Amino acid sequence: MPRERAVNEPDPPADELPGRDREKGTGMTVNEQTPLEREFDPKPGGHRAPGRRSLAATLGLDRFSGLYVLAALILIFALWVPSLFLTATNFRIIAGSQAITAMLALGLIVPVACGAFDLSIGGTLGMGCCIVVWFQANGHGFILGIFAAVAFGLLVGLVNAFIVVKLSVDSFIATLGMGSILSAGTVWVTGGFQVANGISPHFTAIGQKQVLGLPLPVYYMVILAIILWWLLEYTPAGRYLYSVGGNPQAARLAGIRVGRITTGAFVVSGVVAAFAGVMLAAELGSSSPDVGVPYLLPAFSAVFLGATQIIPGRVNVLGTLIAIFLLATGVKGLQLAGAPGYINPLFNGLALIIAVALAVRATRRKA
Amino acid sequence: MTAALTVTNMSKSFAGPRVLDSVSLSLEPGEIRALVGENGSGKSTLIKILAGFHLPDEGSAEVEGEPLLLGRGEASEALGLRFVHQDLGLVNNLDAVDNIALGVGYPSFRGRIRWRQERKRTRAALRDLGYEFDVRRPAGSLAMSERTALAVARALAPRQNTAKVLILDEPTANLPAAEAERLFQLARRVADSGMAVMFVSHHFDEVFGLAHSVTVLRDGKHVITRPVAGLNEDQLIELVIGRQLEQVTHDAKAAERRDVVLQVSGLGCDVLNNVDMVVHAGEIIGIAGITGSGRDEVATALFGGIDRAGEVTINGAAVPKLRPDRAMAMGMGLVPAERHANAAFMTSTLRENITVVGTSLHWRNGILSKGRERSDVAVWLERLDVRPRNSEFTMSDLSGGNQQKVVLARWLRMGPKVLVLNEPTQGVDVGAKSDIHKLIDEAAADGTAVLVISTDHEELVRLCHRVLVLRRGKIADEISGGRMDHDLITAATIGRDRSDAA
């Protein structure tokens, strides 16, 4: 009985890194079609048959193109400005400088996976930074400050979710407004000036101490990436997030509580953004109004560019990390090669547009 | 007198068989003509040709003796043809004034729209039709009957040329009986003014109550055009389905009476009215009805996808409304109609599409095991013969029939107590269809109470122990035993009562 055979088949090896199946064995199933069935197949040649896998697919260009681009960038700058680019210090600087952007982007993946934008993360990051500094400046200690900042992020997530889920306001508009309110909040908390008094050296150590040559935030980022990767790939909640993002109506009719999933997603992005703000305060040893705003666009660029990597057409953790370091390497290399200061936003903006264009192409090819 | 509209030898095919085969007909001014036929008999195609939406393969048409340039919407308009299409064609976020202007443009005064005057004219036009509502409300917020009136008002709104023929495609599909009557009065008034009226309807009471004459289409061919007088409902049904109704065919599957699983009392929503039903374990109940009868809404109302009134219980426990998650936890499954919109995750894998329900079955020690999911899903892909049989393919790689099987697998895997299927074999080929029917039988044999909602009446005969027929939101008939026959079901959906069939 064919059914038995399928049951008794040994479990395929536990999934290798986050990707989906490597298309093994698809040739067999495709060839099971009779010629007649093939003739009536509505999409002849629509199935990707590994027997005829293209060179690009074999090299993983469809899923790992970012890694190739990253390698190419490193090679180019290594030849262009070897004395500056190809140094351990430089790579350490790139890793360290990107830890906060990466954390922010990682948190952003969650709402984007369920089809919602969170444009308030820049403001939340700024508020997290200002709150933790305010607590120290007013003599309340940094531990309480960290808790207050993270609790504030949670609150922002809940309010965003309330506006989007209960008031049915489009997430783009709701969080755009929230972002503006939060940047007003940063001015209010700081009084409009840079605040740097009363900062505990224990607090700045959280953001500045180096272990094995890398600042601590890099390790926090790695831990966060592992947690989110597990959440998105290996928990029912992650599956529900992608289902809601894919087709909210179908998700609802499959018994998924769409409102709850969306709420959870905003809470994650809010909490992560506030925590990233705390890290920023520890790194800078100060806070100032609107400190979070410049982080918003790079985080979005990375998430969308990341959606073209590893699991094409789907925002994911590893793709986002690759994108972050690709963007950072590009910017850093160009700066070292003498590019003017405006190269950073220029490069990020171009990358965002190109990334989304690529992502649209990827999904169109699938649909 | 010249005919208001003449259609000669009109034919059309869409990649394959002819959906319209050399149809000719003519309408006199002041005449009300009903155009009837089963789904797919070519009614809508004919209307869309006249509206300039489709270009026919052959044939011609004339309006009051003037040849109509086919395939051009403006040409139909210019010769005086006016249409109210099935979906009404209103823009939901525009108000009544703007919606009418979409048809006729804004008469401007020195380049300026005079809104007050426009509103006044719109109100007057609607009042002529017997409607009064705020013309500044967006069309989407109006009641169905008000929207229908608005669409009619737009069709009749004065333009450069005079209207000669009003064509309505299933104008009453979404209207409750009382409001349908208002529309009839309107149609009579239009005809009295000298225009010809042609309307498509599945309600035979409307044909007899409103039309002077009737044209029957079957399989794209013209069957007959004759006056309504002297015709009775049985004869008309015979003309529509092409053969006499056999009084007794074969017995429906005999139900083995087991415990009541699903009990529904007083089910209501915007189109459903006080529907009761009881489904036993192992029983397959069919629901038939034309579009707008409430057929479609039964499924989502039971499952909690739309708001509802009334009690729904599974094994005596009440299922809360608007909580698909609770309905699911209590053992109900729903395969909704319109797979793309309501069921499929097109960019996800088959595995994810199936395990989206009961995801936590493979969630152990904090890890969702994809390996276990794969072998679980493989069993179901095998059992439903899904091709290609690979759980990691993306849903969009599959043909429609295979996608439908995947959605079915999603629920069959859960072994539900109650399984509600809305058009379970929509877009599925013959072989797959019989596979799906077997699976539904098997599920019932295992004790699932099954509700099958379908416009495919042969499917209902094949599957069901009993068929409930909905008409205008109410159960109008119950067909079982010796009366189980698809023509009888069809007849019941369009208004022949049980007393006639006995």
Mark which residues 329-358 of B lie under 8 Å from A by CB: 329, 334, 336, 341-349, 352, 355-357
- Work out the average pLDDT over B292-313: 90
Band (pLDDT 50/70/90 cuts) for residue A18 is very low
Rounded mean pLDDT, B435-460: 89
Tell which wins on pLDDT, A81 or A207. Answer: A207
Inter-chain touch A6–B327, beta carbons under 8 Å: no
CB atoms within 10 A of CB B452: 28
Q: What pTM was estimated for this model as a whole?
A: 0.74
Stretch B453-473: mean pLDDT, rounded?
89
Listed in sequence order, the residues at least 6 apart from B237 whose beta carbon sits closer than 8 Å to its beta carbon are B204, B245, B487, B490, B491, B494, B496
- 3-class secondary structure, B40: coil
CB B288 within 8 A of CB B452: no
Strand (E) or helix (H) holding B467: strand B466-471
Q: Has residue B175 got a pLDDT over 80? A: no
> What pLDDT shows up at residue B396?
83
Q: Is the Cβ–Cβ distance between B493 and B290 less than 8 Å?
A: yes
Q: What is the DSSP string of B264-304?
A: EEEEE-SS--SEEEEEETT-EEEEE--TTTTHHHHHHHHHT
Assigned token pair, B250: 């074969």
Flag whether residue A29 sits within 8 Å of chain B, measured between CB atoms: yes
CA distance A187 to A287: 10
Task: List pLDDT tens digits, range B405-434.
Answer: 999 999 999 999 999 999 888 767 666 777
Q: Tell me which CATH code domain B5-241 carries.
A: 3.40.50.300
How is chain A split into domains, by residue range? Answer: 75-366
Beta carbons within 8 Å of A153's beta carbon, 6+ residues apart: A124, A127, A128, A270, A271, A272, A273, A274, A275, A277
3.40.50.620, 3.40.50.300, 3.40.225.10, 3.40.920.10: CATH of B248-331+416-502: 3.40.50.300
Question: Residues of B with CB below 8 A from A314's CB?
Answer: 347
Please name the amino acid found at residue B163: A
Instruction: Say whether pLDDT at B333 is over 90.
Output: yes
B397 contact residues in A (CB cutoff 8 A): 43, 46-48, 366
Q: Would you say residue A33 has pLDDT above 50?
A: no
* Residues of chain A with C-beta less than 8 angstroms from the C-beta of B429: 40
Residue A85 in tokens: 């680019």
Q: Which residues pair with B314 in a beta bridge?
A: B262, B317
* Residue percentage of chain B with pLDDT more than 90: 33
Residue A99 to chain B, least CA–CA distance (Å)? 27
Domain(s) labelled CATH 3.40.50.300 in chain B stretch across 5-241, 248-331+416-502
Query: Residue A46 has what pLDDT?
Result: 35
- pLDDT tens sequence across A141-150: 899 999 999 9
Whole-number average pLDDT of chain A: 80
Which of A216-220, B135-139, B484-488 has maximum average pLDDT? A216-220
Q: How far is CA A204 from the centre of its chain?
A: 25
Contact residues, A window 44-83, toward B, CB-based 8 Å cutoff: 46-48
Is pLDDT above 80 for B138?
yes
| DSSP E strand boundaries for B124-211 | 165-169, 196-200
Q: pLDDT band at B109, cuts 50/70/90?
A: low
Instruction: Kindly state whether A250 is in contact with chain B, defined as any CB-CB distance less than 8 angstroms.
Output: yes
Please give the pLDDT value at position B169: 86
B231 or A173: which carries more pLDDT confidence? Answer: A173
- pLDDT over 90 percentage in chain A: 44
Q: Which residues contact A25 (CB under 8 A, 6 or more apart)?
A: B390
Interface test with chain A among B330, B368, B385, B403, by most A beta carbons within 10 Å? B368
Q: Which of A36, A247, A364 is the mutation pick for testing B, counting most B CBs within 10 A? A: A247
Q: Is A252 on the interface with B (CB under 8 A)?
A: yes
Would you tell me which residues 441-500 of chain B have a C-beta closer than 8 angstroms to some C-beta of chain A? none
The predicted pLDDT at position A112 comes to: 96
By the 8 A CB rule, do B76 and B67 touch?
no
User: Judging by beta carbons within 10 Å of its beta carbon (0-12, 13-18, 19+), is residue A196 exposed, middle or buried?
Assistant: middle
At which residue do the structure tokens 């505990």 appear? A200
In chain A, whose CA is at the least distance from the CA of B376?
Answer: A7
- Region of poorest pLDDT, from A90-99, A279-288, B444-453: A90-99
CA proximity to B490, closest of B252, B242, B283? B242
B345 contacts in chain A (CB < 8 Å): 242-243, 246-247, 250-251
Burial string for B394-426 (b: 16+ CB within 10 Å, else e) reads: bbbbbbbbbbbbbbbbbbbbbebbbbbbbbbbb
Q: Is A58 exposed, middle or buried (0-12, 13-18, 19+ CB in 10 A)?
A: exposed
Please give the distance of CA B64 from its chain centroid, rounded to a whole number. 34
CATH fold for the domain made of A75-366: ABC transporter involved in vitamin B12 uptake, BtuC (1.10.3470)
Check residue B394 and report its DSSP letter: B
Phi, psi of B43 (to 5 degrees): -60, -55
Residue A6 has pLDDT above 50, yes or no: no
- A-B CB pairs within 8 A amount to 141
Cα–Cα distances (Å) from B199 to A168, B77, B142, B220, in that order, read 40, 18, 23, 17
Query: A313 with A113: CB under 8 angstroms?
Result: no
In this predicted model, what pLDDT tens digit does every residue of B69-88 receive, in sequence order? Answer: 888 888 888 888 999 887 78
Residue of A nearest to B380 (CA): A3
Q: Which residues of A touch B388 (CB under 8 A)?
A: 26, 29-30, 32-33, 47
Check whether A12 has a pLDDT greater than 60. Answer: no
Structure tokens at A161: 């979710």
Q: Report the complex ipTM.
A: 0.76
User: Which pLDDT score, from 0 to 100, does residue B252 have?
Assistant: 55
Task: Give CA–CA dist B190/B184, Å, rounded.
Answer: 10
Q: And the tokens for B454? A: 């379908």
User: Pairing state of beta strands B309-314 and B260-268?
Assistant: antiparallel
Mutate to test the interface with B, among A40, A253, A256 (most CBs of B within 10 A): A253
Better pLDDT: A238 or B483: A238
Using the Cβ of A367 and the Cβ atoms of chain B, whether some distance falls under 8 Å is answered with yes
Residues of chain B by 3-state class (helix, strand, coil), percent to 5 = 35, 25, 40
Question: What is the per-residue pLDDT for B294?
Answer: 87
Please indicate whether residue B308 or residue A348 has the higher confidence score (pLDDT).
Answer: B308
What value does the mean pLDDT take over residues B127-131? 80
Angstroms from B121 CA to nearest CA on chain A: 35
A283-300 burial: b if 16+ Cβ within 10 Å, else e: bbebbbbbbbbebbbbbb
Q: What is the pLDDT averaged over residues A251-256?
A: 94
| Dihedral over Cα of B40, B43, B45, B46: its sign | positive
| pLDDT (0 to 100) of residue B8 | 92
Give me the pLDDT at residue A44, please: 34
Check residue A280 and give its pLDDT.
Answer: 94
How does the average pLDDT of chain B come out, rounded? 85
Q: Which residue has the higher pLDDT, A79 or B461?
A: B461
Place of tokens 């210090």: A89
Alpha helices in B446-485 (DSSP H): 457-463
Residue A103 or residue B153, greater confidence: A103
A236 touches chain B (CB under 8 A): yes
Is B439 within 8 Å of chain A by CB? no
Kindly report, residue by residue over B253-293, the tens digit of the pLDDT.
655 667 889 999 999 988 898 999 999 999 999 999 887 78
Q: What b/e sequence results for B286-313 when a residue is b if at least 16 CB atoms lie within 10 Å of its CB, and e otherwise?
A: bbbbbebbbbbbbbbbbbbbbebebebe
CA distance to partner chain B, nearest, from residue A68 (Å): 25
